[in-house]
Amino acid sequence: FYTSHPSIHEVINILLDIQSETYLKINSIKTNNKNKPRKEQIDKLTFITETWTKLEKNEISAEIFESKKGETGAIVLIGRAQSYCVFLKEK
């Protein structure tokens, strides 16, 4: 969220997105179906993980990381990004 008191509609929309994503993942696991993320998701997450690596190596500051993350329009939970990193490394 970008404000300290987001609109209830924004919160509900984000929670619904998380719920549907979780539902799809659970059903994929149950059916043993390997769904691949879309190319734009892979590109966005690759960019964010590369930027995260630069942040860990102190090549960029936290402010630059946040601004670059914001430029992509990505609201990323680090755990979610790390799970996609595993997918990208397998690829």
Provide the domain count of the chain.
Answer: 2
Domain of 8 in residue numbering reads as 1-33
Best CA proximity match to 89, nearest among 60, 49, 62, 56: 49
More confident residue, 6 or 83: 6
Note the pTM of the prediction, 2 decimals: 0.41
Looking at the fold, whether 44 and 82 belong to one and the same domain comes out as yes
Please compute the mean of the pLDDT values over residues 20-35 and round it to a whole number.
85
Alpha-carbon distances, residue 34 vs 6, 11, 39, 62, 83 (angstroms) = 35, 29, 15, 34, 14
Q: Which residue has the higher pLDDT, 15 or 74?
A: 15
91 lies in the same domain as 59: yes
Determine the pLDDT at residue 70: 65
**What is residue 12's predicted lDDT score, i.e. its pLDDT?**
93
